[in-house]
Structure 1
């Protein structure tokens, strides 16, 4: 391998499959040796291999993070800006229309996710503190106060005054609204099926910077009340204990959320209540995955795993929730 061969290297981002399963959008990064920089563009390719890939975007500062709208007619992409920051754009796919700049941010944008009705987009970006309002010259700003052990990241620089925040913006354009922010690091927004709630990953405990814990919270984009930093305060739905809860995903029936456990060989009971916490305990290891059953108490959902998982009315035929919405003490 010769030094010039670096220009032949190609890096692919996470693929995004269209809702009908016929097309994949993916960010492709190449090395431009002449300009001494990376070039990133969005490419589309059919999933059945019936045609060659085609380039969709060609922005000067690169495009990334493609996300399909629920109807498959629009594609949200993140476009870099000169001097830093990013734009969130929406491109028409297979229908007449023009690209729309949904919003601009002074910081990079990532993880765009469409709401189920296609009217809003959630994304992650860093929110700058008030000291940044004086301009781009860091020496002219007031001193940075360091009161947390976790204060900077490789490739990001100082983050103590730039926390990772989840925003929601109208798909047609507008000012993004912070729905999960404060001094904490948030990621992985996931819309509920009815579009009223977002599940996010964070650790909002007092000593969040001293442990490796990650929990799942949910937030209502239009909720009243604020937490630290003036952002709406999400509610925890996983218990406070060591471990990481990541990659939240909603099943077809709200309000239960699922997450990717670090130990996948052991199934557990989990009880979730909107605005509350989740209790979890070992359950049957029968294959097939959990099925939700509505507990008698309003607002509580019990997820169980048992050989007879059929949901009939308000009970699970394999094992019935108690009146208080807790999982049974005995195995299925």
Structure 2
């Protein structure tokens, strides 16, 4: 009853606010909004556990606990853990009576695995004591053992070895990193000689066994365990996991993960997929078993001559590993998650489709899945299915106007029941116009999907500047989603129409549409961006076409830098983590071979893309004022690209501002840095899009745009 009343109050509040004036979103609204994590449903389908973060600008004041809610919504969520520190990776036992999670408590130096009995009152009990820390717990089918992962020295045979090697490393008088193969960095970390291994120990004991220590597999220079990929076999005698054995070949070959199996008593892992060749084949991930144990399902990404290939769900008979076929989505749309129905009748999937993520379903046979349903707006993520006779479907739901919350999906897929409303009331107080969709055909005859977001306090009689946002990837899509790092409403809060285009190369319309970017990495997508801006101005009379700026991060930053050299269409640009030189990006990024394939061959052959689609070669045409920003610890788009861009801008005497975040990586993750960045973006846009702000703008590029 409490939940029903709370829900009624929420929607009554929302209704009343429709008549009153809602306020404009601020960074504090965005950053301090409670953040619901991925739900995990109990096997019996009765309860859902999920992490909830209560952010703060001060790290020491942030709270992150586990919460519990009945899957039928009969009671409101309740805080399940409340000690200092962060709990993560919740996992149920098969009988739904115990819950394991990873946390650092008391005198723990690293995260350990804790277990709590749901039927008894009391605190969770620590079950691991390993010096290297423990994460991602899983109960064995009979509940007697726990599986977890830990990052250990590659040569360590046991925990005592790990402690010894850690001490030797700390006691060294020199500091140096030495490598004999590729890669040497990953996102924001130097590869340091440690590996993630699988451990199993009996619940109540403290004799964790490293299942991979000393094996020939981990001695391969290309070994890397895929995060979150391990699963118990149905009989509880072995672990199936995904791992690479060819990561060291990433400079000259596609790489992939195969499925492997290792006994819990130890021994050499056995490869279940792929062949003896080390050159990359299909890549496997996310193994999961049917509830009767007769089938193994996994995500498989086919290997072709294309960089991007849409993921499928593979079905394999167990334990024979006979290929029973693959399930795909219509038009090769991207599968983002999947779950197996407890009744054994179907596989259910979440898949991308023109700005949304929808629910699909397929019977247990190869072929195309069918669309079951989609929310009226927004998207689903983190699909979970529990129960037996009557499957219970749980997911996270969000839209551009609604922060993520936990929901129970209706069986027909045509709606949902809200189980949490942590952020909903806060968001309801804000002026957040819903996204609107429109389409056009580009110059190559491809249909291009777009979304626009109107500014707060919208008045159709007024004229508004246009802010063109370009998404990263490129193999991703703009979604009707609540975005923390690039929030549509916060960016448009000063009175801008925000345009979001799913240019060619996006995953919004399936495999062929995404693959069409190969060999045309910048020009084609940028042409779509420019045409989309023109189309929006033509379609919407309230857009002032004389006042436009374009902004992007990561691949969106690449596009911003391409626009710098190819058009004076925009009064200003914003580029975060954007490459300016294809050649130096190829040589310094942590991911090079796929860039080479996308560009038609190695850099020294100087094919057309290297010569014609490299922004730095167009520096003679740089004119547009630009805000440039980088994280100093970004190894995906290293800082050298920012410095090179800045030098070219200064050489050409282009107005600009360069911001370097010493403690950030590819993204701006800390609260105060994020607030500062949004403030800088706000001031930059005001200067070029609002004539009376800060004395107006007299730059040559702006004058030309006027």
TM-score (normalised: structure 2):
0.35
Find the counterpart in structure 2 of residue 177 from structure 1.
Answer: 209
Residue aligned with 2:62, SS: strand
Q: 1:269 to 1:174 in 2, by over 3 A?
A: closer
What pairs with 1:84-103 in structure 2 (closer than 5 Å)? 85-96=110-121, 98-103=123-128
Find the counterpart in structure 2 of residue 258 from structure 1.
Answer: 297
The answer (yes or no) to whether the contact 1:10–1:28 under 8 Å persists in 2 is yes
What pairs with 1:91-170 in structure 2 (closer than 5 Å)? 91-96=116-121, 98-107=123-132, 109-129=134-154, 132-134=165-167, 137=170, 140=173, 143-155=176-188, 157-170=189-202
Find the counterpart in structure 2 of residue 193 from structure 1.
Answer: 234
Name which of 54, 59, 70 aligns with 1:30: 54
The answer (yes or no) to whether the contact 1:237–1:273 under 8 Å persists in 2 is no
The answer (yes or no) to whether the contact 1:189–1:199 under 8 Å persists in 2 is yes
Find the counterpart in structure 2 of residue 219 from structure 1.
Answer: 262
Q: CA deviation at 1:12?
A: 2.4
Q: 1:20 to 1:289 in 2, by over 3 A?
A: closer
Q: CA deviation at 1:102?
A: 0.8
Determine the C-alpha separation between the residues in 2 that align with 1:305 and 1:237.
21
Find the counterpart in structure 2 of residue 10 from structure 1.
Answer: 34
Q: CA deviation at 1:128?
A: 2.7
Q: CA deviation at 1:197?
A: 1.3
Determine the C-alpha separation between the residues in 1 that align with 2:108 and 2:174.
19
Single out whichever of 196-205 and 167-176 deviates more from structure 2. 167-176
Name which of 225, 239, 264 aligns with 2:274: 239
Q: 1:52 to 1:101 in 2, by over 3 A?
A: same
The structure carrying a bigger helix percent of its residues is 2
Single out whichever of 38-47 and 107-116 deviates more from structure 2. 107-116
Find the counterpart in structure 2 of residue 310 from structure 1.
Answer: none
Pairs aligned (count): 280
1:144-164 Cα deviation digits (max 9, x unpaired): 432231333335x33442111
Q: CA deviation at 1:16?
A: 1.1
Find the counterpart in structure 1 of residue 378 from structure 2.
Answer: none
Tell me which of the two structures has the higher relative contact order, counting C-alpha pairs closer than 8 angstroms and 6 or more residues apart: 2
1:263-320 Cα deviation digits (max 9, x unpaired): 789897857767xxx67597999xx779xxxxxxxxxxxxx9589xxxxxxxxxxxxx
CA RMSD of aligned residues (A): 3.6
The structure carrying a bigger strand percent of its residues is 1
The answer (yes or no) to whether the contact 1:43–1:57 under 8 Å persists in 2 is yes
Gaps of 5+ in 1: 225-232, 291-303, 308-332
Find the counterpart in structure 1 of residue 92 from structure 2.
Answer: 68
Gaps of 5+ in 2: 1-24, 155-161, 303-309, 329-344, 348-363, 368-706
Determine the C-alpha separation between the residues in 1 that align with 2:318 and 2:32.
50
The answer (yes or no) to whether the contact 1:86–1:104 under 8 Å persists in 2 is no
Q: 1:151 to 1:165 in 2, by over 3 A?
A: farther
Note if 1:49 corresponds to 2:82: no
The answer (yes or no) to whether the contact 2:298–2:314 under 8 Å persists in 1 is no
Residue aligned with 1:175, SS: coil
Residue aligned with 1:133, SS: helix
The answer (yes or no) to whether the contact 1:166–1:178 under 8 Å persists in 2 is yes
Determine the C-alpha separation between the residues in 2 that align with 1:205 and 1:279.
24
